[in-house]
Structures are given as C-alpha cells and as structure tokens.
Amino acid sequence: MFKQKTIEEVKSASRKSSSGTTSNAFYNNPRIRGFFYQIALVAGLLYFFGTIIGNTLANMEATGIKTGFDFLGAAAGYDVLMSLISFESTDTYGRIFVVGFLNTLLVSAIGIFFATLLGFIFGVAHFSHNWLIRKIALVYVEIFRNVPLLLQVFFWYFAVLSSLPGARQSLSLGEAVFLNVRGLYLPKLIGGDLSSLVWIALGAAVAGIFVLRRWAKKRQELTGQQFPVLKTSIAMVILFPLIVAALTGFPFTVEYPALKGFNYFGGITVIPELMSLAIALSVYTGAFIAEAVRAGVQSIPHGQTEAARSIGLRENKIMSLIIVPQAMRVIVPLLNSEYQSLVKNSTLAAAVGYPDLFNVFVGTALNQTGQAIETIFMTIIVYFVVNMVISFLMNRFNSAVALVSR
C-alpha cells in the first residue's frame, strides 16, 4: 500500500539526495551563483552603454558638434504661434520647452476628453433599437478607424479650415464669436475684484456634487428611494455661481474680439492648427474607443440584461446600472492604451504647424542649435513620463471599477 508523502517529506528527501552528489563549494551555492550572474549582467550592460555614450561623445567632439545642456539658457530668437504662458523671442530654449510641453498637454487633454465622449456615445449607440442610429455608429467607426490619422489631420486643416473666409469676411455669431481662416475667436470673461468668489462658488458646487452622490447612494441603500442626482448636480453647478455673481453684482467684463488692422484681437483665439489636430485626434481615437465600449458591452452575458428586465428595470437603466458598470472592467484597460496612443499621435502637430513639444523643440530648436541628442532625449523623457502618468491613473481607475470580490 502506498503511503502518501507530505510535501515536507519530499522536499527533505530531495535535499538529502542533492547534498549527497554535489560538493558544498561556494560556487555551487545557487544564491551566490545567481548573485554572480546578475553582477556580470549589470557590468556587461554598464560597459555596453558606457562605450556607446563615450564613443558618441568622442565622435561628436571630433566632428565639432556642440554638446551639453547649456543651450537651454540661451535666447531662442524665434517666435511661437501659440503659448499658454507668456513668450517672446528673447526668451530661452528652456522656456520653449515648457511652452511646447504645455501645448502638447492641452491638445492631448482636449483630444482625450472628446474622444472619450464620442467613443461612449457611438459605442453605446451600436446597441440602439433604432436602425438609423445603429448604422450611423457603424459608419462613423468604419470611416474614421480606417483612414490614416495624418490624412485626417490634413483633411481638417487644408480641406475644411483653410477654405473658411479671410479675416475681413469672417463668419460671425452675434458680433461676439467670429470664425475665419485664422481661427475661432471667442469672447473672454475678465474677472473683476470679487470674481474669485464666483469661482469659489463653482468649486463648492462641484464639491457639493460628490457629497450629494454619497448621500443619495446611502439613502437609496437604506430606504430604496432614489434621488435625481444628475438634475440636481447640473442645477447646482449653474445656480451656485450665478447666485453669487448676482449678489456681488456680476464682477465680470466681457472682452469681445474685434478686427484691428490685419487680425482680430482680444478675446480667446483658437488657432486652426489646434482645431484641426484636436478634431482629428478626437474623432480618430473616438472610433477606437467606440469599439472598445462595444467589446465591453458585448462581454456582458445576455442573462444580465434578462435578469435586469425581470426585476422591472427600464432599458436605459439597464444600460447605466447593470451593463456599463460591468463592461468598464473590459473597457478601462483598452482606454488606457487609446489615451497613450493619442498623446503619442499628437506629434503629428508638425504636419500642420501646431506648436506642440515635438514641433517647437525637436523641430525648430533642434535645427537652430543642432543639439540633436539632447533635444531628442529630453523629448523622449517627456512623452515617456506623460504616458507613465496616464497609465498610473488608469490603473488606479481600473482597480476602482474592477470586480470586487467579497
């Protein structure tokens, strides 16, 4: 009869047999061996990269190419089309780097916001009971997913926005909003002395929404009664600041764009380079996100829908309460990579001259200073870090929506 051995017995048996056949010399100790191989690997890698870097520097020295990061403190001497911080041609290359970085963040943020919006709308529309809406969603995804992004950027820039009328024949909306080949001109709110109170009210309204949501959820769990959270939230965000503004006597002046000489000045200018890039990125990435949303929804077994119907939930509630929350587990990891692609694709800015980091730094700064290795290295680090941050945030979000095992 077999007597079953415990794991401990097997282990001790194998230890005995191995110690019997091999010597106890230090080089046979697996830990020391592992340690040695790791040291050898690290040393090899260090030598490899050290040689490459040393050789590159020596070759650059020999061919008379300047090296180092001193250029970041030197005056750039050229202008940038659009900057979120003040910039003049006497400012430094270091500031150019920041200007480009902020412009990249801006177009990426706009792109991510609208791509997500479009993606969820068209992804859910795929399951509509309306034939037309279903087909529109299908056509949207198929067209914009299958046309190269560069071509789409060119389309929006050269075919659509470049055919708008010139500055002096602008399309206007109530003499406040102007659209021409040079961009979209919007009126700008300029805050007076008490305007900060209005912004505080807005902040309070947003914070209030979170409190409201928690309270409504708790109440529903206790009593089963529902509270119209969405309607109340919207009302809060609009009314809170408005009431405060009325109490403080509307501490704002509106600055309207006006034609002076060659251009419209004043107000907010959205340049066509930014518009075309943001539209192309949103629409293109939105098509992929729509597919991700569709995949997520389809991954939920049909039984969930049937079960939801059997307890009397309405169709839109089934989607928002049962299907989408479960589908998020599939959607979020896909969203993560779509967002990262979007940030990387924003470098197509160079094609239309939007001054993103790649364009103003790897493009112009590299060309004017000739310091290819430094500029490209710095730019790689930026995209790497931005994408790592996106990945980190999305992973946090993912663990929040992941199935919680109880």
Q: Does 81 bind other proteins (CB under 8 A)?
A: yes
Q: Does 56 bind other proteins (CB under 8 A)?
A: no
Q: Does 272 bind other proteins (CB under 8 A)?
A: yes
Q: How far apart are CA 313 and CA 307, in angstroms?
A: 9
Pairing of strands 183-186, 188-191: unpaired
Q: Does 259 bind other proteins (CB under 8 A)?
A: no
**Stretch of 34-42, 51-59, 116-124, 188-196 contacting other proteins, by CB under 8 A:** 51-59
**Stretch of 93-101, 163-171, 219-227, 232-240 contacting other proteins, by CB under 8 A:** 163-171
Of the candidates 392, 357, 391, the residue with the CA atom closest to the CA atom of residue 377 = 357
Q: Centre a 10 Å sphere on the Cβ of residue 401 and count the other Cβ atoms it contains.
A: 15
Two structure tokens written together for 100? 């480009």
Q: Does 79 bind other proteins (CB under 8 A)?
A: yes
25 or 85: CB nearest other proteins: 85
Site string for other proteins, 87-116 (x = CB under 8 A): --xx--------------------------
Smallest gap, in angstroms, from Cβ of residue 107 to other proteins?
A: 16
Q: Does 166 bind other proteins (CB under 8 A)?
A: yes
Residues ≥6 apart with Cβ < 8 Å to 32: 26
Site string for other proteins, 385-404 (x = CB under 8 A): --------------------
Of the candidates 283, 275, 103, 79, the residue with the CA atom closest to the CA atom of residue 185 = 275
What are the helix (H) ranges across 85-175?
A: 93-125, 131-146, 149-154
Q: What is the footprint of other proteins within residues 329-388 (CB under 8 A)?
A: 350-351, 353, 355, 359, 363-364, 366-370, 372
Cβ-based burial of 313 (10 A; exposed 0-12, middle 13-18, buried ≥19) = middle
- Asked if residues 48 and 56 have their Cβ atoms less than 8 Å apart, the reply is no
Smallest gap, in angstroms, from Cβ of residue 82 to other proteins?
A: 9
Buried b (16+ CB within 10 A) or exposed e, 133-169: beeebeebbeebeeeebeebbbebbeeebeebeebee
Q: Does 68 bind other proteins (CB under 8 A)?
A: no
In the complex, which residues of this chain contact other proteins (CB under 8 A)?
A: 51-52, 55, 58-60, 62-66, 77-81, 89-90, 158, 162-163, 165-167, 180-182, 260-263, 265, 272-273, 350-351, 353, 355, 359, 363-364, 366-370, 372
